[in-house]
Each structure stands twice: as structure tokens, then as C-alpha cells.
Amino acid sequence: MTATWDDAPHLSPETRAELFASIPEYQRDARTKGIPQLGSGAIYTIADSDILVKPFAIPDHWLKGYGLDVGWNKTAAIFGALNPDDGILYLYSEHYRGKDEPAIHAQSIKDRGAQIPGFIDPAAKGRSQVDGRRLIDEYRQQGLKLQEAENAVEAGIYACWLRMCSGKLKAFTSLSNWYSELRLYRRNQGGKVVKEYDHAMDAMRYLVMAGPGKMQRQAKKQEPKLVYTFPGQTNQQWMA
């Protein structure tokens, strides 16, 4: 159950305005609307208004890619489209599912575009490099175009943070699982990243660290040509 400032009639408009101005932007939704959010341990302390946008159709000439974080309890893929004109990366789709075989995850990813390049860390979630590469091979056999991701955690977090702060990273409001993790992603008292509820966050890091150089423009689908035939026609066809 949550409560907003609207449930506190004793707060006058003047008091609300004064309190609102004193609250950091990234805490305003939590304090005024009752939306759960972590405090000083939160990693991405960014206001919703600075990163969330309403979904829109992705133009054909934009570059696409996705980060993939694989695990039995949860497998997450975050899809991004980069506007080459202004350099803004839009996170526009997510796959977020647990306890399924690679074929199930792969099909869901291919439904969003089989030729979109993906980036996966072979050593994530405690796997060895050898086991991780075998898993990559298994997903490749399912038809995914995968490359090994750069998994420098602190560098990746910093790269994501810089994009957010500079307005170069936006996310569709439809990415509910990504958003939930964003607000739970935190450090412990020792300054270490808490490895819980971080599948979408890791996938986002892999995508951001891949950069525009590894993302690709997707080829337009060719419309089939119409073939007209006539009664008795055998060896000759007329193409529209």
C-alpha cells in the first residue's frame, strides 16, 4: 500500500512547494507519490522524467542491438536503438523470463529481429569462460547473432550513468521489469554492487559497453512481387 501527498490534506500548497524544492530529483517520486525506492545506496539516482519516454515506432535507419544476461532463475535481454543523428540510445524492448530452456529465450529474442546483434558475457553468473562459450554456442545454434560482451562492472555502470546524466539514454515506459530493477539496483554499506535483481541492469551494461560500432542497421523487409498468370500459361510469367 502506498500513500501520496494527496493523502495528506494538512499539507498546504505552499508547504508542498517548499518541501518539493528541498527533495533531490531522484527521490521526488518516492516521497511525493509513495513509489518504493532505495535511498543513499541506489546506483542510478536519476529522475523518471529524465529517462522515461512514451513508446514510438523505431525508424528503419537507426542502429539496433541488445544485451543478454543468461541465468536459470532469470534471463533478460534489453533491446536498444541508437539514433545516429543525435547519439541518443533508446531502450525499447525487453525479454525477461526465468526457468526456461535456451530455445524458448532464443525464440522470444528472434521474434524482435533475428539479425539484431546481441552481447553476452561468457563468464557471468559464476560460469567459467569455457562453460560460458559453450552456452554462447548453444544460443548461436538457435539462430542468435551473439558476441562476447565487455563485463567491466564499474566501467559499465559509469558509462550508463554518463549517458543518463547527459540525456543520451532513454527508456520506453513499457519496460516494467527494467524499471523495477533500476530502482532496486544498489550498493551495500561496503560500496559493493548488490548482486540481486540485476539481470536487466547487466544486460543494459553489455549493450552500452558494446557501443554504436557493434550495433547494426536492420535491412528492410522486401515486399513480395505479385505474379500474374494467364489461363494456359506455361513457361512465361509476367511480373508486376
Q: What pLDDT is stored for residue 141 in this prediction?
A: 92
* CB-count exposure of residue 118 (10 Å: 0-12, 13-18, 19+): buried
Q: Check residue 38 and give its pLDDT.
A: 46
Where are the strands (E) in the chain, listed by range? 52-53, 63-69, 75-82, 89-97, 117-120, 145-148, 169-172, 216-217, 227-228, 238-239
Domain boundaries along the sequence of the chain: 1-37, 48-217
Angstrom distance (rounded) from CA 43 to CA 183: 8
Provide the pLDDT for residue 224.
56
66 neighbors 149 (Cβ within 8 angstroms): no
Strand residues in 84-219 grouped as ranges (E): 89-97, 117-120, 145-148, 169-172, 216-217
Q: What are phi and psi of 147, to 5 degrees?
A: -125, 155
Choose the CATH number for 48-217 among 3.40.50.300, 3.50.50.60, 3.30.420.280, 2.40.50.100.
Answer: 3.30.420.280
Each as own residue / partner, the long-range contacts of residues 84-90 (CB below 8 Å, 24 or more positions apart, any chain) are: 84/212, 87/168, 87/212, 88/167, 88/168, 88/169, 88/170, 89/163, 89/168, 89/169, 89/170, 89/207, 89/208, 90/53, 90/58, 90/170, 90/171, 90/172
Instruction: Identify the DSSP state of 193.
Output: B
Place of cell 533531490: 24
Rounded to the nearest 5°, which phi and psi values hold at 200?
A: -70, -35
Q: Are strands 145-148 and 75-82 parallel, antiparallel or unpaired?
A: unpaired
Q: What integer pLDDT is reported at residue 122 of this predicted model?
A: 76
Question: pLDDT per position in the chain (240 positions), as tens?
Answer: 667 877 778 878 887 787 777 766 656 666 677 765 544 488 998 999 999 999 999 999 999 999 999 988 899 999 999 999 999 999 999 999 998 899 999 999 999 999 999 999 877 655 655 676 688 889 999 999 999 999 899 999 999 999 999 999 999 999 999 999 999 999 988 888 999 999 999 999 999 999 999 999 987 665 555 555 555 555 544 444
What is d(CA 142, CA 101) in angstroms, rounded to the nearest whole number? 11
Q: How many CB atoms lie within 10 A of CB 166?
A: 10
- Nine-digit cell string for 143: 539462430
